[in-house]
Chains A and B, each alone.
Chain A
Amino acid sequence: MNRSPYITQAPSVTTIMLKVLLALLPGIAAYVWIFGGGILVTLTLASITALASEAILLKWRDRPIKPFLMDGSALVTAWLLALALPPLAPWWLVVVGTLFAIVIAKQLYGGLGYNPFNPAMIGYAVLLISFPAIMTKWPAPLLLAQTPLGFSDQLHFIFAGALPNGVLVDAITSATPLDYLKTQLGLHHQVQAITQAPIFGVLGGKGGEWVTGAYLLGGLYLIQQRIISWHLPSAFLAALALMAGVFYLLDPAHFANPAFHLLSGATMLCAFFIITDPISGPTTPLGKLIFAAGIGILTYLIRVYGGYPDGVAFSVLLFNIAVPLIDAYTQPRVYGHAK
């Protein structure tokens, strides 16, 4: 075929997706260490569901199955959703969320490259709205649980919902630090007193801050590999820290410090893995800064004033809507044109 250029030098879509999965491994390792091996079951469940539903949908849509299964994007969606779910989520919750992400949010919009919303966040938001009780009940980190569950117990719990004899659900779960902070502030306690609770660690939630730190590590690898651009995480983290900083300085008794916000909840996962989804995000450098900063601000506002303990999913989805607008108004100056 007569088409120049005859040479290319680019990582394939598969390579890009696999590197994202690779970058998630430190976070997953920390997760297993803190919360136990149950997350591996969740990840496997989500992966199988994603690949199977993607294959079926591709077949229905008369699209080639192999190249699109091999591109790795379904696995990335599955893993991100799995990591956002509570570690001991029942199996059907994982399956329903993944199905929604792949079938509705991705394939029905046209598959890879055509989804206007982040599929993992769609799956998460659907579950959060539909099953708020399960979605906000997180197991306590192993070192805090009264009766830490072994891997087989976790497996049993995920698939059968049953706990070993004599163990109560409340004994293994607790509110997340963000959730706890919010409810306690609602009860007119002060931040300093609240953060004395055992679930709080040095800066973020006990244990959770390690997972968050591991995500940061993976994220830096992605920037180094030029898989994601620095604009998104920097602007998101800066905006979140700035919001938290301003409120904290105004009233330290009622607002947690910026470090807590940076190391709690889904902050780092969001900064490096979720808002960096290129398909549902903006493409211009300035657009990326605006998009990420907007999500950072909105995440903070939802955490502090909203009805949900964490605001990442809704912030991302709201700004996904704004992407075409952001792109349209942040076009860089073209060579030879006045601004």
Chain B
Amino acid sequence: MLANLFKSSKLSSFNGGVHPPQHKLESTRAPISVLTIKNAQQVFVLPLRQHVGKVSKLLVNVGDHVLKGQLLANADGQMSAAVHAPTSGTIVSVQDQLIPHPSGLPDIAITLQADGEDRWVEHHAMDYRSVSKREVLERLREGGVVGLGGATFPSHVKLREEAKHPVDTLILNGAECEPFITCDDLLMRERAEEIVRGIEIMQYLLNTKECIIGIEDNKPEAAQAMRDAASKSQILIAVVVVPTVYPSGGARQLIKILTGKEAPSGKRSTDIGIQCFNVATAYTVHRLVNHGEPVISRIVTVTGKVARPGNYDVPLGLAVGELVALAGGAVENTEYIMGGPMMGFTLPSNHVPVVKAMNCIIVGKPEIFPEPPPAMPCIRCARCADACPVSLQPQELYWFAKSDNFEKARDYKLFDCIECGCCTYVCPSNIPLVQYYRYAKSEIIALDKAKQAADIARERNEFRLHRIEREKQERAQKHAQKAAGAKTESAKLEAAPADAATKAEEAKKAALAAAIERAKVQKAEIAPKNTEEVSPQIQADIAAIEARRAEAGLAEVAPQDENN
């Protein structure tokens, strides 16, 4: 009945969007090819930060021999994720290495040299219905499950049932709206049943009433496979085909299309009873819970200037260059894009490792994507506003960002920008609008932080002045008392009230200190206005923004730690 309801219900839509050339056919002709490790000398590099949140806690030492699937670094608290060995071998180093990050900055990573045996650590399935939900979530946390749509938000955090925000609707994102990327498409075509098993676990954990899979209509085979698999499930899963329009795969955009509802700005989608996951995440949940296999591989689309474009099931940590070479592409004298052409970034090196966030590698960036002509002034044609999926006024934001008018930019909802690139895509003047917004966002965050620091300093100074003044008064009082005591015999009698006065003074001091402490805590809570209490997707987006900002050398990497 519910399924019928979905089929007959009309889909909603968001403002604007664009229709870039798909370039998906190139990489969908061949089935997923699974790469196995046979080479005993194969090296894997595993960054300890492949997710949004705290860097994982290292559990191994250089020289340790580890087995495939063995925990190498555990999640540090709730907002973190674990890292596992993609094969059996020896830990050869733990040091800063170049990682696939737009900043081009090195980060701490484990290097593992394979022994060629590819021997599994002892692992077992979990009957998730017979244990507590806490245990299942704990397994997800230890299994390194993160959002594989690119956001890499720890999934166990999103799968926690919250009494305050019950989740009625579970949305599985199979839209995959970015051009070139087809890893979710192929996964749905080939492993639909396993995705559905994962969805069942998610549905069980969140206790949702309904479950919808959204797939763009350019993936009919995937939609059919998912429909077939869903029909065999004990739970009701509706497969809804949505029109192909970029960015329908943005979580908030997909929520709008499928439910007609909008996740409130700056809040999580769970505020309106909706939780959204990528289909590939559901697949890893299934592998982990029903087979005991942690996240040690992922499917990566390799496309562009390669002889064999397609999708590869790659062990994490393999060098991108080696993967590209396997696909028949150049490793030297070219550049790779990680992600799609709308939101991706140029890899700082072709030898960085495959990580959980890597959904696509486009080989041959300079040849496929020539530099745009020089930017012209904005002619206020408002094509950007027509294309903006969030209904912003990009031409105004551009003006404010360019003139460093950050307050205005904030007023015009700069922080609702999802950096999808639609505005730049349609700009007749070739203005790199998204770059301006990233700049303005980072400046605003930096200014907020500076202001916060200044406030604390001012408070400290005020307190110090207050203390000096008080001590002066106390001294004066003491002097007066001494003088009085020397003159009169009754000095002793007055000692008691003087003591009382000092005590009262101390109590005052303590109260003041406490008040200042409270104020500080409040400040700290208020300060990152735009980034706290946002949905996991937005958190993840922020992480991505931070990353890009770091690339521009504008702020330190990953301040999200403090927001979570």
A interface residues, Cβ below 8 angstroms from B: 1-13, 15-16, 67, 71, 73, 111-114, 229, 278-279, 281, 283-284, 327, 331-337
- The answer to whether A335 and B262 touch across the interface, beta carbons within 8 angstroms, is yes
| Contact for B341 among A1, A5, A16, CB less than 8 A | A5
User: How far does the alpha carbon of A22 sit from the alpha carbon of B390 in the complex, in Å?
Assistant: 34
Further 14 A-B residue pairs, CB within 8 A, beyond A16-B379, A278-B381, A281-B380: A1-B371, A5-B424, A5-B434, A6-B342, A8-B424, A8-B425, A12-B373, A12-B428, A71-B376, A331-B412, A332-B385, A332-B393, A333-B391, A335-B15
User: How far does the alpha carbon of A113 sit from the alpha carbon of B15 in the complex, in Å?
Assistant: 26
A-B pairs with lowest CB-CB distance, top 10:
A113-B377, A5-B421, A336-B265, A6-B369, A283-B382, A335-B390, A6-B341, A2-B346, A278-B381, A5-B342
Interface SS, A side: loop
Contacts of A333 in B (CB 8 A): 391
| Contact for A5 among B343, B371, B385, CB less than 8 A | B343
- The answer to whether B341 and A7 touch across the interface, beta carbons within 8 angstroms, is yes
- The answer to whether B344 and A334 touch across the interface, beta carbons within 8 angstroms, is no
- B14 within 8 A of partner (CB): yes
In the complex with contacts A279-B379, A281-B380, A335-B391, A11-B263 CB distance below 8 A: no
User: How far does the alpha carbon of A335 sit from the alpha carbon of B272 in the complex, in Å?
Assistant: 14
User: How far does the alpha carbon of A231 sit from the alpha carbon of B381 in the complex, in Å?
Assistant: 13
Shortest Cβ distance from A332 into B: residue: B391
- The answer to whether B380 and A278 touch across the interface, beta carbons within 8 angstroms, is yes
| Contact for B382 among A71, A112, A278, A334, CB less than 8 A | A278
Contacts of A332 in B (CB 8 A): 15, 385, 391, 393
User: How far does the alpha carbon of A6 sit from the alpha carbon of B373 in the complex, in Å?
Assistant: 12
User: How far does the alpha carbon of A91 sit from the alpha carbon of B421 in the complex, in Å?
Assistant: 48
Contacts of A2 in B (CB 8 A): 102, 345-346, 551
| Contact for B344 among A6, A73, A281, CB less than 8 A | A6
Interface residues of B in 345-393 (CB under 8 A from A): 345-346, 365, 368-369, 371-374, 376-383, 385, 389-393
- The answer to whether A7 and B369 touch across the interface, beta carbons within 8 angstroms, is yes
Closest CB of chain B to A109's CB: distance in Å?
11
Shortest Cβ distance from A11 into B: residue: B428
Contacts of A67 in B (CB 8 A): 374, 376
Closest CB of chain B to A176's CB: distance in Å?
32
Contact with A along B64-88 (1 / 0, CB 8 A): 0000000000000000000000000
In the complex with contacts A7-B369, A336-B265, A13-B429 CB distance below 8 A: yes
- B252 within 8 A of partner (CB): yes
| Contact for B413 among A3, A4, A113, A337, CB less than 8 A | A337
Interface SS, B side: loop
User: How far does the alpha carbon of A79 sit from the alpha carbon of B458 in the complex, in Å?
Assistant: 61
11 intermolecular pairs with C-beta atoms under 8 Å apart: A4-B337, A7-B425, A8-B430, A9-B18, A10-B425, A10-B426, A67-B376, A112-B376, A113-B377, A229-B382, A335-B15
In the complex with contacts A13-B379, A283-B385, A337-B345 CB distance below 8 A: no
Contacts of B383 in A (CB 8 A): 10
Interface residues of B in 500-531 (CB under 8 A from A): none
| Contact for A4 among B18, B395, B421, B429, CB less than 8 A | B421
| Interface size of B as a range | 35 or more
Interface residues of B in 407-447 (CB under 8 A from A): 412-413, 416, 421, 424-430, 432, 434-435
- The answer to whether A15 and B428 touch across the interface, beta carbons within 8 angstroms, is yes
User: How far does the alpha carbon of A332 sit from the alpha carbon of B376 in the complex, in Å?
Assistant: 26
- B396 within 8 A of partner (CB): yes
In the complex with contacts A67-B374, A112-B376, A333-B391, A4-B434 CB distance below 8 A: yes
User: How far does the alpha carbon of A96 sit from the alpha carbon of B320 in the complex, in Å?
Assistant: 64
Closest CB of chain B to A127's CB: distance in Å?
25
Contacts of A71 in B (CB 8 A): 376
Contacts of B380 in A (CB 8 A): 113, 278-279, 281, 283
Contacts of B20 in A (CB 8 A): 7, 9
- B264 within 8 A of partner (CB): yes
In the complex with contacts A4-B343, A7-B369, A8-B426, A336-B376 CB distance below 8 A: no
Closest CB of chain B to A276's CB: distance in Å?
10
- B292 within 8 A of partner (CB): no
Interface residues of B in 282-333 (CB under 8 A from A): none
- The answer to whether B424 and A112 touch across the interface, beta carbons within 8 angstroms, is no
User: How far does the alpha carbon of A229 sit from the alpha carbon of B383 in the complex, in Å?
Assistant: 10
Shortest Cβ distance from A64 into B: residue: B374
Shortest Cβ distance from A327 into B: residue: B396
In the complex with contacts A10-B425, A112-B376, A283-B382, A334-B265 CB distance below 8 A: yes
Closest CB of chain A to B233's CB: distance in Å?
32
Contacts of B435 in A (CB 8 A): 3
- The answer to whether A336 and B427 touch across the interface, beta carbons within 8 angstroms, is no
- B191 within 8 A of partner (CB): no
User: How far does the alpha carbon of A333 sit from the alpha carbon of B554 in the complex, in Å?
Assistant: 31
Shortest Cβ distance from B551 into A: residue: A2
Contacts of A6 in B (CB 8 A): 337, 341-342, 344, 365, 368-369
Contacts of A279 in B (CB 8 A): 379-380
- The answer to whether B341 and A112 touch across the interface, beta carbons within 8 angstroms, is no
In the complex with contacts A2-B551, A16-B381, A9-B426 CB distance below 8 A: yes
User: How far does the alpha carbon of A66 sit from the alpha carbon of B424 in the complex, in Å?
Assistant: 24
Closest CB of chain A to B171's CB: distance in Å?
16
User: How far does the alpha carbon of A13 sit from the alpha carbon of B342 in the complex, in Å?
Assistant: 22
Residue of A3, A9, A333 with highest tally of chain B CB at under 10 A: A3
- B166 within 8 A of partner (CB): no
Contacts of A8 in B (CB 8 A): 372, 424-427, 430
Shortest Cβ distance from B372 into A: residue: A8
- B179 within 8 A of partner (CB): yes
Contact with A along B138-152 (1 / 0, CB 8 A): 000000000000000
- B227 within 8 A of partner (CB): no
Closest CB of chain B to A307's CB: distance in Å?
32
User: How far does the alpha carbon of A124 sit from the alpha carbon of B378 in the complex, in Å?
Assistant: 25
Closest CB of chain B to A287's CB: distance in Å?
9
Closest CB of chain B to A263's CB: distance in Å?
29
| Contact for B395 among A112, A283, A334, CB less than 8 A | A283
User: How far does the alpha carbon of A337 sit from the alpha carbon of B102 in the complex, in Å?
Assistant: 31
| Contact for B393 among A3, A281, A284, A337, CB less than 8 A | A284
User: How far does the alpha carbon of A34 sit from the alpha carbon of B221 in the complex, in Å?
Assistant: 62
Shortest Cβ distance from B102 into A: residue: A2
| Contact for B416 among A15, A229, A331, A337, CB less than 8 A | A337
Contacts of A278 in B (CB 8 A): 379-382
